Structure 1
């Protein structure tokens, strides 16, 4: 529910605070921490930290707003 709330907030806030931008990045478990946390993410594919970092860069430096980036 928390993730859904954040995603809804981002989409609604993007309209309200324009021209400022707001985005969110929503990764699953990191490949680098799969051994420690993989059991908490059953059925979810792990994602490399480098891919997540590129999503954050795109979120901050890109022109889009109100987007949920899922690496």
Structure 2
């Protein structure tokens, strides 16, 4: 799964720590999601999408092998 989290954060000028605080996770969790080392739960993906005011599909997408 790939994501546009880093781009979305840059557009809104939100740090990893800011986003983490808004959704109740650690900054390291945001970092691992951005690095594609961790796939967020459905609930976490929905919380992230809500922060950016976008559908989940605009932030997270499946890759060929997923």
TM-score range, shorter chain: under 0.3
Query: Whose Rg is larger?
Result: 1
Higher helix share: 2
- TM-score, normalised to structure 1, is 0.25
